[in-house]
A = this chain, B = another copy of it.
Amino acid sequence: MKIESVDLYYLAMPAIKNIGDGSQDALLVRIAAGQWVGWGECETSPLVSMANWACPMSHSACRPVRDGVLGQRLETPADIARINAEVRKLGLDIAQTDHTLSGIDIALWDLLGKRRGEPVYRLLGDKQAYPKTPYASQLFGDDPQQTLAKARTMRDAGYAAVKFGWGPFGQGSVDADREQVAAAREGLGSELMLLVDAGTVWDEDVSAAAARLSMLDAFEVTWLEEPFVSGALAAYRELTARGSRVQMAAGEGAHNFHMARHLIDHGGIGYVQIDTGRIGGITPARRVAEYANAHDVTYVNHTFTTHLALSASLQPYAGMADHTLCEYPVEASDLATRLTKDQLRLDADGQIRVPESPGLGVDPDPAVIDQYHVDVEMYVAGRCVFRSGAIAGSNTDTAGEVARGGDMAD
């Protein structure tokens, strides 16, 4: 079969807050081939990736994502790898290509799984999926009291591990951070795993991060996530060389396999966290999982949004029994929470498993898409190059003109 159409849907909450909550909007990808439909999601700025999908060619290595996707043959996982490589080659000089490709790649795996009647992890070569221990992932409270309350709520909900991140952490004094972490530990009690996410707040300032290490260690924090931006390998290396029991976690900023590998090879991280919505999809994420597994680094998904994104992010390491943690969003927006009727819920043991149904096992609800859908139109030299008209709109033709067709029927 051939890829016949690709539709992009920009969903957004009515008001977007200036906080570190990435679930406030979404870019959904719907791909149709033969009688099958697959869904994916990009972790991206929707408008930027829509432009990246539809932009005019600038030169042979600066072409729109659509040029590497529409009309391509899709029969096997090798076809997905080929499409992935082709999109990157054509889009070499467009940095956004990695983010846009991510949702495409995920939708292709979903589609192929549905056609084969198998979950994606099996198409990746794994025989069975192992349960993962979810860590409840949320923002720090605005003050320690809020953080204390959030921690108690998650402990009462039965989570064995909880992460706090962003918010005021790292923006003020070491003492202020200590109060936040103390509140988190107090609320969780001594048994639960506590993780802290600095959200790149120190950029590449090793001393600022190092000043928190003993405090984090005292509260038995398992990992300090993203003290620095992803590229600051020397800063990561310098910090990990201090030999703290607190390990470093990073990787959500990796846009391709190489960037994740660099953190493992040269950054000294203990956990590599991959967002399949950003690294180019399930294909490169799987490669990172295999590389991490071979280099004694623990692979973890990065997911703060929908259960579609969650299922996609679990597939690359679902079959790896030794990598047992998973990020689990607990305070996503209404849009992200309700997008899929199917959800990956905690089982009786408090564990998460990927769906055993074909593909990703979670489809978006058309009513929720309709509720939160944002129309986008782009004109270049008076010609409409992109239009996402309601949920019946299509932006999928191969001729460079905007098509009228396409619908949600699947």
Contact = CB atoms under 8 A, between A and B. Distances in A.
Contacts of A378: 47, 51, 376-379
A58 interface: yes
Interface stretch (A21-29, A116-124, A213-221): A21-29
Nearest to A378: B378
A94 B12 CA distance: 17
A48 interface: yes
B57 A47 contact: no
B96 A48 contact: yes
A16 B233 contact: no
Contacts of A366: none
Contacts of A382: 375
A89 B202 CA distance: 11
Contacts of A367: none
Among A50, A97, A231, max chain B CB count under 10 A is at: A231
Interface of A is mostly: loop
A19 B259 CA distance: 28
How many of these chains are in the complex?
2
Nearest to A230: B258
Contacts of A98: 95
Contact of A52 (B48, B54, B258): B48
Contacts of A253: 92-93
A256 interface: yes
Contacts of A265: 233-234, 266
B92 A229 contact: yes
B381 A59 contact: no
Contacts of A20: 59-61
Contacts of A50: 51
Contacts of A255: 95
B231 A259 contact: yes
A200 to B, nearest CB: 6
A265 B380 CA distance: 42
Interface in A229-269: 229, 231-234, 253, 255-259, 261-262, 265-266
Contacts of A45: 51-52, 55, 58, 62, 64, 93-94
Interface string A80-102: 00000100010011111111000
26 contacts: A10-B380, A16-B58, A20-B59, A22-B61, A22-B93, A45-B51, A45-B58, A45-B64, A45-B94, A46-B58, A47-B55, A48-B51, A48-B96, A50-B51, A60-B166, A61-B200, A93-B278, A231-B259, A233-B258, A262-B266, A265-B266, A375-B380, A376-B380, A377-B377, A377-B378, A378-B379
Given A18-B63, A19-B59, A24-B59, 7 more contacts: A10-B380, A21-B59, A94-B99, A95-B95, A95-B97, A204-B258, A233-B265
Interface of A: 10, 12, 16-22, 24-25, 43-48, 50-52, 54-64, 85, 89, 92-99, 166, 199-200, 203-204, 229, 231-234, 253, 255-259, 261-262, 265-266, 278, 374-382, 385
